[in-house]
Amino acid sequence: MRKNNNPRLTLRRSVLALAVAALCGSGVVLAQDEAKPAEDQDDGTAQLDVVTVTAQRRVENVNEVPIAITTLADEKLDVIGSGGDDIRVLSGRLPSLNIESSFGRAFPRFYIRGLGNTDFDLNASQPVSLVYDDIVQENPLLKGFPMFDLDSVEMLRGPQGTLFGRNTPAGVLKFNSRRPTQDAEGYAQVSYGALGNANFEGAYGGGLNEAWSLRASALYQRRDDWVDNTRTAGDDELEGYKEFAARVQLLYAPSDDTEALFNVHARSLDGTARLFRANIIQHGSNDFVPGFDRESISIDGTNLQELDTAGANARLRFDLGRVTLYSVTGYETADSLSRGDIDGGYGASFAPPFGPGFIPFPAESADGLPKHDQWSQEFRFESNEWGDFDWQAGLFWFDEQISIDSFNYDTLGGGVQNGYARQEQDNTAWALFASGEYQASDDLTLRAGLRYTKDEKDFTAFRTQSPIGAGALAPIHVSPSDTDVSWDLSAVYALNDAVNVYGRVARGFRAPSIQGRLLFGNTVSVADSETSLSIEAGIKADLFEQRARLGFAVFDYTVDDLQLTAVGGAANFNTLINAAEANGQGFELDLEALLTDRLSVTVGASYNDTEINDPGLAIQPCGGGCTVLDPAGASAGTVSIDGNSLPNAPKWIGNLTARYGIPMGDGTEFFVFTDWAYRDKVNFFLYESAEFQGDALVEGGLRVGYNWEYGNKEVALFGRNITDAEELVGAIDFNNLTGFVNEPRLWGVEFTARF
């Protein structure tokens, strides 16, 4: 039980009360705006397109879905990705979404409403699910598949356990590729910019005959090395990459009643692992040390990253009259090796020279995924026009087999291998689910869903070579399993034709997780299942004769037995733990408007207040001389994290885009597009310290261009991170004050042709 005089609790309740008041007030104001006389309305003729989503596994108007949803599509999606950035570019550009990585492009970690996982192991479980073309991408290396030739991106906030099921207590990111059509069409986009940044993206497809159609799309991205290694006198030696991805889709649609969509895709990445920079943080603060230069580093270890993924899926639909049967079959595989200089410097205190700053000992390691196979199958029945009641029900099956290699290298001894450990896991899960919708009246729609899940893991880890002289370690076996029932209840009420309000209660579930990195330890940790209960209310509206669209939500959630990862520390060892409880609450805003026929804007904002509630929970703090701000724990060498916010959970996130177009003649236009993302300060780890936190980060983009042939041809100048903001975005806490930073400013030119 939390005491009523807890100041953080009082603040959280006050924020929620203010947000609810704003919500209620918004409903009144919006209703009044819609009721204005015609002569007071805007005379513009342009309107926003209706946004449809598949958040409930069927195509619906976003305003009729009782979930906090943000979508990205078309020009906005193209603009933010114009610099060749990976999926992390979405961070801060959707309310309540933060994305970070200590692996660079290969391994994104997602946080929605503050819930995520800082674990850097290739076996890490995340509470945010990424679903790409209806296939769950479970392993973190699959979640970074590039964004290209997409129809839309949908972000579903809050537990999505009924229809998406697997590990979704925080939410879902859903990517939908453009499907093949009978019409021959496609596009090509090419750009070149600073740092040798070159990108190509294109697609083409059309009908092969009356029943078959094809679409092929591809992406190629490269960037030159731009970071000097002063230890080796290597100019422009690091941070480059080359990436290729492709997708081929074949659609068979002999009639309106039957279709089969086949998808084959692959990705290949060859580049630099994340650059860790030793002693770049000033002791006692999170400021950079004087003279810090983002374009240089001093390391003596090897740094590389290779990743190959591939997959195929088949999505079938059969209209059987009263019901439609869907079958979704998917296969994904990944193969990777990432090796880096973890200490972020050269030499060691016992083997001078060393630097930058104090290097107590060298650390160079690698993780590889030599075996990975993921199979999934879903059968789902959907009702067809059953009057006031419609439903869905189905069966889901998932199987993943992985092997993980962990290596350590003796940097001072010429980089020879001196440590090896292995993890092997087989994860099988199946679920039964059902969801129903009842039209209680012309204005009120009720929805409910239920899902039963059984999840089993069979895990083995062993060590054959220890870098610290501990010797070999015999195989350790664990086999956790659990069953659970997730559910959701919601209602949508139409205040009028343009304004809907909704409420939703949902329970989420995440199965037990396992951590067995045995290079520097002798134990395997298992985190028990976590469950969450989320309450959400919101309003969705089309305003001013569909020239503006509003979405606003308030939420409050509690997670029991929250799975957390204590990373790093003096032993550089990951350990899974459970917090008795964590709480979060806040609000989210999505606004899109045509201020004039030439000027359009979007605004997104969110507030997330999170807190760990477990008086007995304590962990090891940093091993590199940081200034710990938490009180000592009950055990020697530990600190209490009770009352701390969740890691990488900014309280405030905001984003803004504005586009102004000037018609230049028949089918031609000059335009300016700017986009900005703000992320409040974050704490990198479970404990709080003066050094290991990131200040607020603001990054902006600019695009100035000219299009003709009614938008089918376009040339534009673009800039990303145009203010050249430079901030800490992550750290390594086991050795010294080591951190890593955000991407630099980038300028370029881009040409696009649609045909």
For the record, the structure tokens of 54 come out as: 């598949």
User: Is 652 within the bounds of a domain?
Assistant: yes
Q: Is residue 301 part of a domain?
A: no
The three-state secondary structure class of 722 is coil
Residue 294 domain-assigned? no
**How far apart (Å, rounded) are the C-alpha atoms in residues 675 and 661?**
15
Q: How far is the C-alpha of 84 from the C-alpha of 68, rounded, in Å?
A: 29
Instruction: Please report the pLDDT score of residue 494 as a whole number.
Output: 97
Sign of the Cα torsion 105, 106, 111, 115 reads negative
Per-residue confidence (pLDDT) for residue 570, from 0 to 100: 61
Q: Decide if 686 is inside a domain.
A: yes
**Cα 159 from Cα 67, distance rounded (Å):** 10
104 vs 238: CA distance, rounded Å: 13
Q: Could you tell me which of 648, 601, 602, 538 has the C-alpha nearest to residue 91?
A: 648
CB atoms within 10 A of CB 64: 15
296-297 and 227-229 as β-strands: parallel, antiparallel, unpaired? parallel
pLDDT of residue 568: 67
What is the pLDDT at residue 471?
Answer: 93
The pLDDT score that the predictor gives to residue 625 is 80
Q: What is the pLDDT of residue 572?
A: 63
Q: How many CA atoms lie within 13 A of 383 on its CB side?
A: 14
The domain total for the chain is 1
- Flag whether 292 is in a domain: no
Q: How far apart are CA 427 and CA 376, in angstroms?
A: 11
370-426 residue pLDDT tens = 999 999 999 999 999 899 999 999 999 999 999 999 999 999 999 999 999 999 999
Q: What is the pLDDT of residue 569?
A: 66
Residue 245 pLDDT: 98
Model-level pTM?
0.93
Q: Which tokens is 5 given?
A: 């005089």
Q: Is the peptide bond before 650 cis (omega within 30 degrees of 0)?
A: no
Helix (H) / strand (E) element for 514: namely: strand 513-515
Q: Please write the tens of the pLDDT for every residue from 578-636.
A: 999 999 999 999 999 999 999 999 999 999 999 999 999 999 898 768 999 999 998 88
Which of 577, 564, 567 shows the shortest CA–CA distance to 646? 564
Q: What is the CATH number of the domain that holds 555?
A: 2.40.170.20
Collapsing DSSP states into helix, strand and coil, what is residue 529?
coil
Query: Does 322 map to a domain?
Result: yes
pLDDT at 571: 61
Helical H segments across 223-295, by residue range? none
Q: Are 508 and 534 in contact (CB under 8 A)?
A: yes
Q: Which residues of 380-400 are buried (b: 16+ CB within 10 A; e: fewer)?
A: bbbbeeeeeebbbbbebebeb
Interatomic CA distance for residues 28 and 204, integer angstroms: 48
- Dihedral angle computed from the Cα positions of residues 741, 742, 744 and 749, in that order, rounded to the nearest 10 degrees: 160
The continuous run of DSSP H or E covering 432 comes out as strand 416-439
Query: Range of 469's domain?
Result: 7-279+312-405+414-754
The two structure tokens encoding residue 213? 């159609």
Radius of gyration for the alpha carbons in the chain, expressed in angstroms and rounded: 26
Residue 208 to residue 205: CA distance in whole angstroms? 9
29 CB contacts (<8 Å, ≥6 apart)? none
Predicted confidence at residue 736, as pLDDT, reads 87
Measured CA to CA in angstroms, residue 72 lies from 79, 464, 592, 739 at distances of 11, 48, 12, 31
Low-confidence ranges of the chain (pLDDT < 70): 1-45, 568-572, 624
Residue 287 falls inside a structural domain: no
How many CA atoms lie within 13 Å of 729's alpha carbon, on the beta-carbon side?
A: 26
* Structural domain contains residue 304: no
* C-beta atoms surrounding 36 within 10 Å: 11
Helices (H), 178-323: none
